[in-house]
Amino acid sequence: MRDIIDGFLRFQREAFPQRVELFKRLATSQNPKALFVTCSDSRVVPELLTQREPGELFVIRNAGNIVPSYGPEPGGVSATVEYAVSVLGVQDIVICGHSDCGAMGAISRCTCLDHMPAVANWLRHADAAKAINAAHSFETPGAKLDGLVRENVIAQLANIRTHPSVALALEQGRMNLHGWVYDIETGGIDALDGETRKFVPLADSPDTVAVASRHR
């Protein structure tokens, strides 16, 4: 904990003074252009990956970068998606999985989660990805996990489209959806191409979109 406090003191002493004007503007408003949904994993830092400043990303983090389908009893993720789209007017939503994901690893290995019932219940929102991935053959457990990480990104993109605010924004041509998989070891990102349904290196195809707005 001391390291964390020392980090704050260093921020206050060194980093904050360099961004005084930025924080002065952010003190009363924010105008993020994108909603970034990713895993809680400590190795994934959205602002670092995208080199964004404070106020530029609206972020949701949870185990497995999951977005439950819209339902009669929406929870915190649904409320945050709705706020980002309807109030902040984000133009893009990124769902970003990552390599060596513990949540997807538990599903891939069929790990018993009886001692973590809340986690087990939460990961049921990835059942579609689990079923599709199980229909394929993989040479190694690692390849199976990588496949599940990708299928989960696709599944969560489908889930988020059930949210009324997202469906409306897509229909009105004011939003695009992006599906990414971040490789922790290499720093690379693969992006889902909505036309081919395949993941391609984002560095080679920076305009790749998973779901484009109806009117571009």
Binding residues for Zn(2+): 39, 41, 98, 101
Does 110 qualify as catalytic in the annotation?
no
- CB environment 68-77: b (16+ within 10 A), e (fewer): bbbeeeeeeb
- Residues at the binding site are 39, 41, 98, 101
* Annotated catalytic residue, options 2, 13, 61, 98: 98
Yes or no: say if 80 and 55 are a contact pair by the CB < 8 Å rule.
no
Yes or no: say if 66 and 93 are a contact pair by the CB < 8 Å rule.
no
Quick one: CA dihedral 90, 128, 194, 97, positive or negative? Answer: positive
Does 96 qualify as catalytic in the annotation?
no
* Annotated catalytic residue, options 41, 96, 125, 150: 41
Angle, helices 141-160/127-134, rounded to nearest 10 degrees: 140
Using CA atoms, how far apart are residues 159 and 66, in angstroms rounded to an integer?
9
Sheet holding 92-98, edge to edge: 57-62, 34-39, 92-98, 176-182, 189-193, 198-201
* Annotated catalytic residue, options 3, 19, 25, 43: 43
Does 43 qualify as catalytic in the annotation?
yes
Pair type for strands 189-193 and 198-201? antiparallel
Does 125 qualify as catalytic in the annotation?
no
Does 6 qualify as catalytic in the annotation?
no
Catalytic residues, which ones?
Answer: 39, 41, 43, 98, 101
